[in-house]
Amino acid sequence: MPSIKDIMETMEYGPAPESNAEVKDWLAGHADGISHFIGGHFVTPEGPMTTVINPADDSVLARLTKAGADQIDAAVKAARAAQPKWAALGGHARARFLYAIARHVQKRERFLAVLETMDNGKTIRETRDGDIPLVARHFYHHAGWAELLESEFPNHRPVGVCGQVIPWNFPLLMLAWKIAPALAAGNTVVLKPADLTPLTAQAFAEICADVGLPAGVVNIVHGDGETGALLTGHPDVDKVAFTGSTAVGRLIREQLAGSGKKLSLELGGKSPFIVFEDADLDAAVEGVVDAIWFNQGEVCCAGSRIIVQEGIAESFFSKLKARLSALRIGTPLDKTMDVGAVVSRPQLERIRALVATGEAEGAILHSAPAELPAQGTFCAPGFFTGTAPAHRVNQEEIFGPIATTLTFRTLEEAMQLANDTRYGLAATIWSQDIDRAISAAARVKAGVIWINSTNLFDAGAAFGGYRESGFGREGAREGVLEYLAPVLPGSRKERSDPKLVPTFAPRKTKHDVPAIDVTAKLYIGGKQKRADGGQSYSVTGKGGAIIGHAALGNRKDIRNAVEAAAKVGSWANVTGHNRAQVLYFLAENLSQRRAEFESLLIHSTGASSKSAAAEVEASIRRCFWYAAYADKFDGAVHTTRQRHVTLSLNEPWGIMGLVCPDERPLLSMLSLILPAIAMGNSVVAIASQSHPLVATTFYQVLETSDLPGGVVNLITGLREDLAKTLAEHDEVACIWYCGSAAGSAMVERAACGNLKATWTDLGHVRDWLADTEGQGAEYLRRATQIKTVWLPYGE
Ligand code: NAD
Ligand code: MN
């Protein structure tokens, strides 16, 4: 025992352990095993047990069984049975339950913090000041959304039963992110925690029981990936929400293809942390601590690639080394520790293996010079210098407390490095020049951007990724929408496959309707292009007569069209006002050729003249509607707890793929193209297979408009073949598909590669004439992705 005098001399930290007596009692009470929570009952665990480990000392905390198909089924049934009543309670009653949960979490904050620390290995400082307060905040915030649901989200209904699967890095916080919005919106849930960290979920189930939450509203089932797959694949789940690795996210995307289940994915990241030479370097160093050494680096949005401007790189790295040597690593329950234990031994080994590849590829590792505890799974935090962008450590998520570093000279170069990743979860930008910081924020492809700050989270701000970091958002209004579905009128007709089985009859010289006797070309990059294969197919009209020929596009044509769409980068930067002008002008041109389109529709689809006139009229109106919205689909400034301007920006995806149906061929095509281009996307559209001449005539309208070439590309041919190529294309960020049920499944499966967002209609015919179905906010939302930008202010 050092004397006071010794301590005053060395200024050494003494041990400052947080008591875990209460948690130990609780664990003793659960010695028989952690139960599943199904239909309001704690189900006595049966079958083989696995152990729940405290990674700080390798001790066994509890035992766990894994739910099998029967238990998953029972949980889904309980959730199904509870859902209508839960929804019917109304927003206010649900708000009271969520408020009660928030209060209970707060009352048990200390207990939950200790339990989380013991189960996960993260420090008590973080669980006490970070995880658990954010959990309470999340339930308060969503008590509010429940209260306001009916007025803020008219014409929406709960999705139904939600299957939710979460990882081990923020166990209770991820649970809160999943359960709070689902319940607020009137859904019921079955949630599966990670098997490495099931304990706070058990404590949460007890809170649900304590507040008298109706049985079946929240169900918790334990187990590993196999249990997870049983849940996400259960046929009676309406919505799946997943947080975890990109690899598993991709499996789930595939598993759900064609199921009609709503899906949101929060996946991995390799987020850039950019330091410009005019940054406040000491603040940026503290930023690194919070970006990659926080939570042992087991953070999906960790600033794991530090990208530093050349002139300051050396001094920044030496500041980092100094800061590293001041980090305290050890017993996570000690209140003075900065870094705790890695969640498990396999995870530690994974980190070590990846770090070894970095060293093997020639990078230099700088580790904290700390002595690690003899027991437990600790990893010294550190960072690499001398890496190259292609090194594995720069491409793969290490998911441990090790950052890489790269240097740059110009903003241009910084942006290139920042976006040199398949991921797009988050980014951090340090610069005292607001102009530079904001222009960088606009150019980094990521869902969350922190300017002069890092790893800030709040229930009032949307969180979620671009690219292979997933789709969907959690938090704020955007997150609530993930748990709602628009109310659509009536029952919906099933779409049949295209009427026309294309024939490749040689061109005849005589036709029934010579006025539209054409072999229409494709429209790529603003020019009419012959199909790559040089082939065409015959188009039949009313009564089966051949009325013309359309180009038979192939894979190469799709690729050329995507390339053309990629070249028009500037369209996204054209102001909303100017995009509106282009759409108004389209309407004007369309209206001048009204008679031609009416006659074309009559001949091609057999529509009555009244119906054809209505379709053209609605098409013109739709141009006006989206022109109106081009400069009015606003983002928001969200109110978060901290002093920040938290912007929510609606950004275009970039390139969208659109697959058009046969019904109402002019109107349906415009209903897909207009919102996409109004929001700044470039599109590759596959025209109605049976009525392609409508599309090819429409590009004559495009040619006389002010739309830059390449913003709209039109391909004709076999819908399913073309759709598959489009859905597989890595540069297409989002695809909308209107075709058959089987085609919807095919598109969702093909979209797995780059995890592009999909909107398929499962073969249900939409009433395109109706403004409630053929246009609306949902189109605008689905034509954009949200970027959240955090800007601090004040001292
Ligand atoms: P993981 O994907 O292996 O597991 C996550 C969860 O999915 C666990 O509950 C697991 O049991 C379950 N699971 C595994 N296979 C499954 C399957 N086939 N079907 C259904 N469920 C399955 O990830 P992990 O290693 O536990 O967590 C770390 C990963 O999570 C990292 O890649 C990290 O980036 C990511 N993560 C992302 C976010 C985010 O918000 N984007 C947050 C935290 C973690
Ligand atoms: Mn554990």
Tokens in use for 401?
Answer: 């407390």
Q: Which of 35-44, 505-514, 517-526, 728-737 has the lowest mean pLDDT?
A: 505-514
Which ligand has an atom closest to residue 471 CA? Answer: 1
**511 φ, ψ to 5°?**
-130, 160
pLDDT score of 546: 87
Contacts of 61 (CB under 8 A, 6+ apart): 27, 51, 52, 53, 54, 118, 119, 199
Which ligand has an atom closest to residue 344 CA? Answer: 2
Q: Which of 483-487, 495-499, 706-710 has the lowest mean pLDDT?
A: 495-499
Looking at residue 273, its amino acid is F
What is the whole-number distance in angstroms between the Cα of residue 55 and the centre of ligand 2?
6
Contacts of 330 (CB under 8 A, 6+ apart): 337, 339, 340, 370, 372, 373, 378
Give the number of other CB atoms < 10 A from CB of residue 409: 11
- Mean pLDDT over residues 701-714, rounded? 95
What 3-state DSSP class applies to 624?
Answer: helix
**503 φ, ψ to 5°?**
-115, 155
Looking at residue 485, its amino acid is A
What does the pLDDT look like over 567-604, one tens digit per residue?
A: 997 798 899 999 999 999 999 999 999 999 999 999 99
- Mean pLDDT over residues 65-94, rounded? 97
The residue whose CA is least distant from atom 14 of ligand 1 is 225
Q: Determine which helix (DSSP H) or strand (DSSP E) holds 307, and give its type and residue range.
A: strand 303-309
- Mean pLDDT over residues 697-708, rounded? 93
What does the pLDDT look like over 225-264, one tens digit per residue?
A: 999 999 999 999 999 999 999 999 999 999 999 999 999 9
Contacts of 621 (CB under 8 A, 6+ apart): none
Q: Which atom of ligand 1 is nearest to the CA of 252?
A: 19
The residue whose CA is least distant from atom 16 of ligand 1 is 225
Which residue among 138, 248, 298, 351 is best mutated to probe the pocket of ligand 1, counting the most ligand atoms within 8 A of its Cβ?
248
pLDDT score of 785: 97
Q: Is the pLDDT of residue 407 over 80?
A: yes
- Rounded CA-CA distance 366/362 in Å is 13
Q: Which atom of ligand 1 is nearest to the CA of 177?
A: 40
Looking at residue 149, its amino acid is L
Looking at residue 309, its amino acid is Q
Looking at residue 568, its amino acid is V
Q: What is the mean pLDDT of the chain?
A: 95
Which ligand has an atom closest to residue 347 CA? Answer: 1
What is the whole-number distance in angstroms between the Cα of residue 348 and the centre of ligand 2?
13
Query: For the stretch 745-781, what's the b/e string if a residue is b when 16 or more beta carbons lie within 10 angstroms of its beta carbon?
Result: bbbbbbbbebbbbbbbbbbbbbbbbeeebbbbeebbb
Tokens in use for 252?
Answer: 């789930």
pLDDT score of 795: 59
Which residue among 173, 243, 253, 349 is best mutated to probe the pocket of ligand 1, counting the most ligand atoms within 8 A of its Cβ?
243
Q: Is the pLDDT of residue 505 over 60?
A: no
Give CA 764 to chain center in angstroms. Answer: 25
What is the whole-number distance in angstroms between the Cα of residue 172 and the centre of ligand 1?
14
What is the whole-number distance in angstroms between the Cα of residue 222 and the centre of ligand 1?
14
266 counts as catalytic: yes
pLDDT-derived band at 13, boundaries 50, 70, 90: confident
Which residue among 300, 423, 425, 471 is best mutated to probe the pocket of ligand 1, counting the most ligand atoms within 8 A of its Cβ?
300
What is the whole-number distance in angstroms between the Cα of residue 300 and the centre of ligand 1?
10
Looking at residue 328, its amino acid is R
Give CA 397 to chain center in angstroms. Answer: 17
Q: Which residue has the higher pLDDT, 784 or 499?
A: 784
What is the whole-number distance in angstroms between the Cα of residue 658 and the centre of ligand 1?
31
What does the pLDDT look like over 752-773, one tens digit per residue?
A: 999 999 999 999 999 999 999 9
CA neighbor of 652 nearest in space, from 623, 671, 685, 630 = 630
Q: Is the pLDDT of residue 710 over 60?
A: yes
The residue whose CA is least distant from atom 40 of ligand 1 is 266
- Mean pLDDT over residues 124-128, rounded? 98
User: What DSSP state is assigned to residue 514?
Assistant: G
pLDDT score of 514: 45
Q: Which structural domains are found in the chain, ordered by start?
A: 21-243 (3.40.605.10), 271-464 (3.40.309.10), 554-637+654-785 (3.40.605.10)
Q: Which residue has the higher pLDDT, 793 or 39?
A: 39
pLDDT-derived band at 516, boundaries 50, 70, 90: very low
Q: Is the pLDDT of residue 794 over 50?
A: yes
- Mean pLDDT over residues 44-63, rounded? 94
- Mean pLDDT over residues 120-131, rounded? 98
Catalytic member of 266, 397, 468, 720? 266
Q: Which atom of ligand 1 is nearest to the CA of 247?
A: 2
- Mean pLDDT over residues 169-198, rounded? 98
CA neighbor of 298 nearest in space, from 265, 336, 334, 344 = 344
Residues lining ligand 1, CB < 6 A?
165-169, 192, 194-195, 224-225, 228-229, 232, 243-245, 248, 251-252, 266-269, 300, 397, 399, 425
Query: Model pTM?
Result: 0.96
